[in-house]
Amino acid sequence: MARYFIIYKPFGVLSQFSGEGQTLASLFSFPKDVYPVGRLDKDSEGLLLITNDKFLNNQLLNPRFGHQRTYLTQVEGIPTDEAIKNLAKGVQIKVDGKPYQTKFAIAKLRKDHPNLPDRNPPIRYRKNVPDSWVELTLIEGKNRQVRKMTAAVGFPTLRLVRWSIEKLTIEGFQSGEVRELDEKMIYHQLGLTGFRKTRR
């Protein structure tokens, strides 16, 4: 039976069930046959999907299927219009030590502070350096891509939260919260409803 868990992965937690340091196993007693779809770095937070559905895993991770992933990133400084435009059209970063041009994205400077749980520990406050929030929607997921992108345009990331995958979001979640959803809801929110009858 397929099981689907959505979690708000806290800062400092590894996207795995074993290893040194705090892991996903410390958040909830998950079934033994489930695993994370993709990962978030230890110093990143937000939406993580955990399941034993291999078809869904392939749909979300195979580069052929470009699912939108939206990140909220708190950056040092206030990005210029040019910086936001460059994030959207693509910037050059390093992937596996080689230059890589990121694909087109949706980028915008938020005027408000997103409604997110406080981070523990909080980011280091710098009185003389303002910070701001950028909303960035990608259709790819290279290693530490968002951090590399904001650094490339001159505004280093201070805090990074994955907010959504397609329409599946962590809205209303507390940090560390785990919710189990049914297959119909998961496939609908991910825009995969048409695949459900043919996937097995």
Q: Which phi and psi (to 5°) does residue 71 adopt?
A: -120, 140
The yes/no answer on whether domain 68-165 falls in CATH 3.30.70.1560 is: yes
Residue 198: the pLDDT is 46
- Cα 41 to Cα 15, 34, 51, 56, 156: the distances in Å are 7, 19, 19, 21, 16
> Alpha-carbon distance 94 to 162, whole Å?
21
> Alpha-carbon distance 173 to 109, whole Å?
23
**Which amino acid does the sequence have at 43?**
D
Residue 192: the pLDDT is 85
Give CATH for domain 1-65+170-200: 3.30.70.580
> Alpha-carbon distance 92 to 164, whole Å?
24
Residue 195: the pLDDT is 54
Q: Where are the domains of the chain?
A: 1-65+170-200, 68-165
> Alpha-carbon distance 192 to 10, whole Å?
27
Residue 199: the pLDDT is 46
Residue 197: the pLDDT is 46
CATH topology match: 1-65+170-200 vs 68-165: yes
Q: Which phi and psi (to 5°) does residue 123 adopt?
A: -65, 155
Count CB neighbours of 111 within 10 A.
7
> Alpha-carbon distance 176 to 65, whole Å?
28
Q: Would you write out the chain's pLDDT as a tens digit for each of its 200 residues?
A: 899 999 999 999 999 999 889 999 999 999 999 999 988 999 999 999 999 999 999 889 887 777 899 999 999 999 999 999 999 999 999 999 999 999 999 999 999 999 999 999 998 877 788 999 999 999 998 999 999 999 999 999 999 999 999 999 999 999 999 999 999 999 999 988 655 544 44
Q: What is the CA radius of gyration of the chain?
A: 17
Catalogue the active-site residues.
41
> Alpha-carbon distance 35 to 95, whole Å?
25
pTM: 0.93
